[in-house]
Amino acid sequence: MPLLGQNITRRMSDNKRYWMDLGELHQQPEAIKGRENEFPQELAIDQVLGDPSFGKASTGRRDFLKFLGFGIGAATLAACETPVIKSIPYVNKPEDITPGVANWYASTFYDGEDFASILVKTREGRPIHIKGNPRFGINRNPALTKGSINARINSSVLSLYDNERLTSPMSKGAEGMTASSWSDADKAIGTALAGTGKRIVILTGTVISPSTTAAINALKAKYSAPDAAGVPATKVDHIQYDPISYSGVTSANQKSFGKRVFPSYDLTKADVIVSVDADFLSSWGSTTENTWQYASRRQPGKGMNRHFQFEARMSLSGANADVRVPLKVSELPQAIVALHAHIAKGTGSSASGASAEVMAATETAAKALLAARGRSVVMSGSNNEGVQVLVNSINNMLGNYGTTIDLFGHTNFHQGNDAEVARLVENMNSGAIGALLIAGVNPAYTLPNADQFKAGLTQVPLSVSFSGYADETASLCTWVCPDHHALESWNDFNPKVGHYALAQPTIRPLFSTRQWQESLLAWSGSSSNYHDFIRSTWEANMAGLGYTTPFVDNWNTALHDGVITMGGASTEVITFAGDIPSATSVAQKSGEGAGEFELSLYTKESIGSGAHANNPWLQEMPDPLTKITWDNYVCMSPVDIERMGLNMYLGEQAPASLVTVKAGDREITLPAVVTPGQRTGTVSIALGYGRGANGERVGRAACTTDHEGNFVPVGKNAYPLTTFLNGVVGYDVLNVSVEKAGGTYPIAITQTHLTDMDRVSIVKETNLATFLGGEKRAYNHPHELAVHEDVNGDGVINALDKKPVAEFDLWEEHPVEGVGHRWGLSIDLNGCIGCGACITACNSENNISVVGKDEVRRSREMHWLRVDRYYSSATTKESAKQDGLGKIDMYLKMEVPEESPKVVFMPVMCQHCNHAPCETVCPVAATTHSNEGLNMMAYNRCIGTRYCANNCPYKVRRFNWFNYVSEKFGEVNPAWDDLGRMVLNPDVTVRARGVIEKCSMCVQQIQEGKLAAKKAGTPIKDGAIETACSAACGSGAIVFGDLNDKKSKVLEMATGDRSYHMLEEIGVKPSVNYLVKVRNTEEAAAHHA
Amino acid sequence: MDAVPIKMLGMPLVVRISERFTLLRNASLTLLFFAFSLGALAQGTDAAQYAAGEKLFKGNCASCHKPDKDLTGPAMAGARARWEGKGDIYAWVKNSSAYLKTGNPYANELFAKWNKSVMTAQALNNEEIDAVLYYADNYVPPAGPKPPIDPNPKPEASSNWPWLVVIGLLLAVVAVSLSGVKSSLTNAVREAEGQEPLPDMTTGQKLRQWAWNNKGFATIIALFVVVFITLKLWDAAWVIGVYGGDEVEHYKPEQPINFPHSLHAGKVEAGNLAIDCQYCHSSAAKSKHAGIPTTNVCMNCHTAVSEGRSPEGTAEIQKIYAAAGWDPAALKYTGKIEPVKWVKVHNLPDHAYFNHSQHVNVGQLECQECHGPIDEKMDVAEQWAPLTMGWCIDCHNTKDVKMAGNGYYDEIMARLEETDMGHSELKKYLEDDKISVRELGGWECAKCHY
């Protein structure tokens, strides 16, 4: 460092001299001369200048700089030109489209897993938002006139704009998959189908569409008829396969009642619900129906239902239960046996025993059931036939058939038959299958014996997948004939006896895809399109249902409403014909052979069976209970985590420990996550992850690429751990080993609290008895501050003189009370089941960025609305006092959640405080208060100081650390390429880097609703304006409205006895209020005085 | 009233236009009269029948027929001749459907030829039919196309320019030669006085020396030059701006079709058509976008109106036909459409939400209040208002809310009157006897930014 050396010697110090080398010290002339050069070596200037070509160059350095400067200047100026924007109107405007005005279409969502009547919002021909149909359909909550849906349904609009969808039919040749044309596909497949002498099998999910069945029958008719020469026909079979099997349930109904169906439940009539491992609010049965029916009976009062849940894993239903009993997986069949015994005893039948422990655990539930005969329901999530026969028997003894359970008006869901699928795989391997057409299912990913299926597929000469992606199954087929996305399709549905629904396209197909039913029609020799085919099917069948009005009227009604009901319910008497002793022994047997650890496999609220794993909104939606995004993991109880020495507390800098779960010869290594409520000795793993593990292109959000560009699937596939026993797929594995795998794994978790540390001003909870007691202070104690005046009139000013916090104002009040509108939200903690449909609805409405796992891990998720989850602790201040614990011990004990903690879900969005702390600290007034009570955010003004986020007591403000709409985040955020951008709501700004954003209470909807009222010249009707979250909440937990409207529901809730403000004591006067959670338990209220 | 300045601006123009117009009208009347007299001479009939026929034709027939051209129906001129001896034209006109049933071969041939479109039965008597046919046979097209009305005639380019340049050049030459003369004279004087002749300096050197000698003067000039250049640059900077400001020349891009707003929407008195703005921009009352009319809206009129008032106008109309895929000869749509790629004129700054229906429908604003005298003065649309936030909130500050008769505002008023806080707010609002947009929150961020 010669240069540095010079300086040092000169300036370093006055009384010390530093020298670099002896030459300098002794003032050698060579050294002094050499110092003049910055670099002691000669520069290679001569070599460069000596190059003869250099001399010929006409541009000197100065010229170069001049040109550069001029160029930059010119480019800058040119960039300032007013951009010419083209505006291209229609040539012939469709009558019903007005640019700038949204059109809503009634349609239907069905993917084999969820069913819902929906409304699709389209802007300028692009579907951008989905909500439940508020007027029609089985998922409609009539009391609220809202359609209940879940996150998977409202997120499905994003999958339409996935640029990894197949854009044309593909055929498999020597060099892999190549794009083909529909005419080639039809020719090749038609020839192959006609030429095969073997069986043709159509493998689908559960088909509830009459017209699809008719199309399948058309293909059957074409290839099953004997030809003129009398050669035996090729047989066409239709096999239905559910990735999440209900085979045991339907075959139990076959054995019990002679009907292989999944019954229809009516939880609005159920006073007592006992669920043994059936997560009916999230994944079991007809969840969109169950949720609103359940929530409609959760209003505290005399009519409130009572919910018992027996389960190993803390499920969403268990989290909502009044009484939750954690049992080992192996004990769950015992619980049914025990319940059966209790009920049988109570109804005078003979009883068969179960272990005394389980008998005791089920006693309270049994008592409640017996007290509510005909007004109760027992459900079991088991796929074991014996267990389900016992459940049927219990319900039969209780007289629930015909009231809470309907077998005649049964659903048509879950018709899959595991045994037939297993036979199919065998037949494929033996070469008996000539052609396999696969629609709507992905067996190479979901089957327990997927390897055998894959091997069998190579033995099938013609395999056609109708998948929209080159997924696990499609990429192995000889042809892929991509189906439309559901929003591009026509379809009809018969979800329940007497209920018919239509799905209509809301956009022209984006790619050269074709509806799979239309492909079937084409191959069976019909040139009809599927729309005409549905119409003719309906026309042919409607007469049989006793319709006298002209067909076209009914059709138009069905198309407009999305739904039509026809055909009355039967009233025949059912008789239970199940064999109890054999069912009991089958059930008992299914609980045998338990090992050290027992595994239950489940599906998550967000990802489900995995069909939507490529949807980034769903991947980034935190799991309702673990609050983890972008991964699946092994759920373990705190006791086991501690015993095995695994990481208990997870966060940005605290990764999870990896464990290996071994079941027989299959194993899976995943991070271990502590889930309070998980029964010790059991573990749970979510299905539906690990898509695209072999590099299949299943949509970008399902897998990411690592630094080396390798595909890394999100999570791991747990389907190989499912079992196949007695002809059904099972999701419980009773003997697994869990071992520390060594190493850790970063987890993106959005909430790390384990317990609610007795801070009662965030969540408030009470039991029904206390609530019915009628004294508000007992369960909703207002916060009061001591004042220096004689409030209570006892003549002395002391600590007893208090005033409620609401009467204090730090600042002058905003004039919102009684002036114009004052928008507010009331959130009923009793109604909120934690499903998270509001989160994805908000994503869709407000263009909220997906940021990816790494950013979420750094707490940079952008969700405007979060659902906080709180676990209760067994230790309270009162119990600590009784136990004589010191303060430190008390708080330490409070940190340990109960074995089965109580769970509270709490949706939190911007509280739109009237004394907003964020507004006072913004240096540029980018966030201000409106006279309608809204806390406004002007992105253009925001300079990104983040003072507001810092000062927000609710932590609802989100900062754009990056430009999330850029290529950089394209990996996790396919919503932002040219195709994905089509999903954006054009009325909401897409935020750029460096600005804060937060819940606006869907101000665009407010403005739109106000404008509609002004144009109509009428006051705004309560309920006419909905925020995205309130519209998505079919259980009625989130209610939006005008607090200045005396007749509004939101005001009624806000002024009720249960209403309180979060962190009321800080006096920010929020516009959002919460309603105390009331649990239907008998235990005394553990609450502060 | 905001429209006052516009009116004032328009005053001299109106005078000018009316002058021109009177001239034109006189000319056309003369021509028309000439034509009539010619016709009268040739046919030996009167102008009265022609006029009666014209009136009847325009009232009953013009939607499907033209006198001299095919439209939905055939050209009417020569109809009587064509029917001669083939059937009863009177019966045909009175009720064509009934006449068809008589099996008249010519009638059926006609019916088939014209796409089996049924001619509406006409309640005319024979004399009236005669008059119409007379009018058609003797139809004289309106005398020549009117010259396009230029309401904003550009002042003719000043012819002083070349002279000024010439004079300037002359003066420069004089100055140069004078300075040469002066220096030779000075040198001569110096030589005479025995001094060294002045060094031979270049112009630049001389200039510098002069400046050195007259520092104060040079400084002032330099100051002026700097200020002048700065101002010019400042102006230029405004023009290169993306959206411009108050000083910008109104943005008026070239459009693919030279659509004259003044002709379509201008006043009838000025010889224009006075079509309501919202006939074409129909979504202005319903949507956030006023909407560029779709081509089928143009075709509502232009299926019939195929000729402009000038050859250029006719050419422009042909562009609509090309876009709509209309074959004016066959009077049929060919199906080959080509959307018109208009250039957007009004670009609101990013991140601002503006809703036309709020302003047009609820606020009851006239289009001209923001778009300027687009109906009177603009041939091709141009940006009138600066569309800046300052301009928006200026208006929100002064405009009162149109509350009367709107149930929504009745409710708002009722609430204001109900509570104490409402009362005090209302009092504040009514200090100037009106409730402005601003008072009801029209200045709040989230009214336009979300």
pLDDT digits over A661-699, tens only? 998 889 999 999 988 889 999 999 999 998 888 878 887
Contact state of A88 with B340 under an 8 Å Cβ cutoff: yes
Average pLDDT for residues A646-663, to the nearest whole number?
A: 88
Q: B295 in contact with A at a CB cutoff of 8 Å?
A: yes
CA-CA-CA-CA torsion for A692, A693, A695, A700, nearest 10 degrees?
A: 40
Q: How many residues does chain B have?
A: 450
What pLDDT does A363 receive?
A: 85
Give the pLDDT band of residue B44 (cuts 50, 70, 90). Answer: very low
Percentage of chain B lying above the pLDDT 90 cut: 18
CA of B292: which chain A residue's CA is closest?
Answer: A89
Average pLDDT for residues B216-234, to the nearest whole number?
A: 92
Q: Give the separation between CA A379 and CA A315, rounded to whole angstroms.
A: 14
Select the more confidently predicted residue: A898 or B439.
B439
What pLDDT does A15 receive?
A: 46
Strands (E), A687-830: 703-705, 711-713, 723-725, 728-730, 732-745, 748-749, 765-767, 784-786, 802-804, 823-828
Contact state of A82 with B416 under an 8 Å Cβ cutoff: no
What pLDDT does A928 receive?
A: 92
Smallest Cα distance from A922 to chain B, Å: 14
Give the pLDDT band of residue A24 (cuts 50, 70, 90). Answer: low
Contact state of A820 with B441 under an 8 Å Cβ cutoff: yes
Residue range A263-411 in CATH 3.40.50.300:
no
Strands A703-705 and A711-713 turn out to be antiparallel
What pLDDT does A788 receive?
A: 84
- In sequence order, the 6+-apart residues with CB closer than 8 A to the CB of A5 are A20, A24
What pLDDT does A12 receive?
A: 39
Contact state of B292 with A1007 under an 8 Å Cβ cutoff: no
* B14 pLDDT higher than 60: no
Contact state of B362 with A1014 under an 8 Å Cβ cutoff: yes
Contact state of A817 with B324 under an 8 Å Cβ cutoff: no
Q: Give the separation between CA A396 and CA A598, rounded to whole angstroms.
A: 31
Across the interface, of A85, A930, A1003, the residue whose CB is closest to B344 is: A85
CB-side exposure of A348: number of CA atoms within 13 Å? 0
* A754 pLDDT higher than 90: no
Smallest Cα distance from B421 to chain A, Å: 7
What pLDDT does A82 receive?
A: 60
Q: Name the DSSP letter for residue A269.
A: G
What pLDDT does A1083 receive?
A: 53
Contact state of B422 with A819 under an 8 Å Cβ cutoff: yes
What pLDDT does B310 receive?
A: 87
What confidence tens digit (pLDDT) does each residue in B152-199 have? 545 454 567 888 899 999 999 998 888 888 888 888 888 888 777 777
Residue range A593-749 in CATH 1.20.1530.20:
no
Count of C-beta atoms within a 10 Å radius of residue A810: 11
Residue type, A661: V
Lowest mean pLDDT among A706-720, A1055-1069, B271-285, B402-416: A706-720
What pLDDT does A959 receive?
A: 93
Angle among Cα A396, A399, A400 to the nearest 5 degrees reads 85
* A641 pLDDT higher than 80: yes
And the tokens for A556? 């138009």
Helix (H, G, I), strand (E, B) or coil at B155: coil
What pLDDT does A870 receive?
A: 86
Please report, in angstroms and rounded to a whole number, the separation of the first and last CA atoms in chain B: 32
Give the pLDDT band of residue B356 (cuts 50, 70, 90). Answer: very high
Across the interface, of B351, B420, B421, the residue whose CB is closest to A939 is: B351
Q: A78 in contact with B at a CB cutoff of 8 Å?
A: no
Sheet strands side by side (includes A126-132): A103-110, A115-123, A126-132, A146-147, A140-141
Select the more confidently predicted residue: A440 or B5.
A440
Per-window interface: A 1017-1036 vs B, CB < 8 A: 1017-1020
Q: Please give the mean pLDDT across all residues of chain A.
A: 85
Per-window interface: A 774-813 vs B, CB < 8 A: 813
Across the interface, of B339, B347, B440, the residue whose CB is closest to A85 is: B347
What pLDDT does A228 receive?
A: 65
Strands A666-674 and A126-132 turn out to be unpaired
Q: B249 in contact with A at a CB cutoff of 8 Å?
A: no
- In sequence order, the 6+-apart residues with CB closer than 8 A to the CB of B163 are none
* A796 pLDDT higher than 90: no
What pLDDT does B117 receive?
A: 76
Give the pLDDT band of residue A504 (cuts 50, 70, 90). Answer: very high
Across the interface, of B341, B418, B422, the residue whose CB is closest to A86 is: B341
The structure tokens 């021109």 sit at: B20
CA of A102: which chain B residue's CA is closest?
Answer: B287
What pLDDT does A10 receive?
A: 40
Percentage of chain B lying above the pLDDT 70 cut: 83
Contact criterion met (CB below 8 Å) for A95 and A134: no
User: What is the b/e burial string over A1016-1055, where b = at least 16 CB atoms within 10 angstroms of the residue's CB?
Assistant: eeebbebbebbbbbbbbbbbbbbbbbbbbbeebbbbebbe
What pLDDT does A346 receive?
A: 72
Chain B residues touching residue A932 (CB < 8 angstroms): 441
Contact state of A1003 with B450 under an 8 Å Cβ cutoff: yes
What pLDDT does A579 receive?
A: 84
What confidence tens digit (pLDDT) does each residue in A318-362 have? 999 998 889 999 889 888 988 888 888 776 665 566 677 788 888
Lowest mean pLDDT among A487-491, B61-65, B293-297: B61-65
Q: A1004 in contact with B at a CB cutoff of 8 Å?
A: yes
Q: A930 in contact with B at a CB cutoff of 8 Å?
A: yes
- A170-243+416-496+505-561, which class in CATH? alpha beta
Smallest Cα distance from B342 to chain A, Å: 5
And the tokens for B381? 């649309």
* A266 pLDDT higher than 80: yes
Residue A343 CA from chain centroid, whole number? 37
What is the pTM assigned to this prediction? 0.81
| Bridge partner residues of B183 (DSSP) | none
What pLDDT does A107 receive?
A: 94
Of B349, B334, B358, B339, the C-alpha closest to B406 is B358
Q: Give the separation between CA B423 and CA B416, rounded to whole angstroms.
A: 6
Q: What is the full DSSP assignment across A239-255?
A: EE--SS--HHHHHHHHH
What pLDDT does A829 receive?
A: 92
Contact criterion met (CB below 8 Å) for A402 and A575: no
Average pLDDT for residues A120-149, to the nearest whole number?
A: 90
What pLDDT does A8 receive?
A: 38
Average pLDDT for residues B234-258, to the nearest whole number?
A: 67
User: What is the three-state SS of B211-241?
Assistant: HHHCHHHHHHHHHHHHHHHHHHHHHHHHHHC
Of A314, A324, A315, the C-alpha closest to A361 is A324
Average pLDDT for residues A93-116, to the nearest whole number?
A: 90
* B10 pLDDT higher than 50: no
Across the interface, of B296, B418, B446, the residue whose CB is closest to A1003 is: B446
Contact state of A81 with B240 under an 8 Å Cβ cutoff: yes
Q: Give the separation between CA A161 and CA A165, rounded to whole angstroms.
A: 8
Strands A86-87 and A376-380 turn out to be unpaired
Select the more confidently predicted residue: A753 or B74.
B74
Q: Name the DSSP letter for residue A1060.
A: E
Pick from A82, A846, A1018 the residue to mutate for testing the B interface (most B CBs within 10 Å). Answer: A82
Chain B residues touching residue A987 (CB < 8 angstroms): 353, 450
Q: A938 in contact with B at a CB cutoff of 8 Å?
A: yes
Average pLDDT for residues A538-549, to the nearest whole number?
A: 76
Lowest mean pLDDT among A3-17, B257-271, B298-312, B356-370: A3-17
Q: A76 in contact with B at a CB cutoff of 8 Å?
A: no
User: Count of A–B CB contacts within 8 Å?
Assistant: 171
What pLDDT does A31 receive?
A: 58
Chain A residues touching residue B416 (CB < 8 angstroms): 818-820
Instruction: Map out the domains of chain A as residue ranges.
Output: 1-41, 170-243+416-496+505-561, 263-411, 593-749, 765-1079
- A765-1079, which class in CATH? alpha beta
Q: Give the separation between CA A691 and CA A698, rounded to whole angstroms.
A: 7
Give the pLDDT band of residue B19 (cuts 50, 70, 90). Answer: very low
Contact state of B357 with A1015 under an 8 Å Cβ cutoff: yes
Give the pLDDT band of residue A18 (cuts 50, 70, 90). Answer: low
Percentage of chain A lying above the pLDDT 70 cut: 89
Residue B112 burial (C-beta neighbours within 10 Å; 0-12, 13-18, 19+): exposed
Chain B residues touching residue A813 (CB < 8 angstroms): 421
Q: May I ask the CATH architecture of the domain B12-137?
A: Orthogonal Bundle (1.10)
* A152 pLDDT higher than 80: yes
What pLDDT does B350 receive?
A: 79
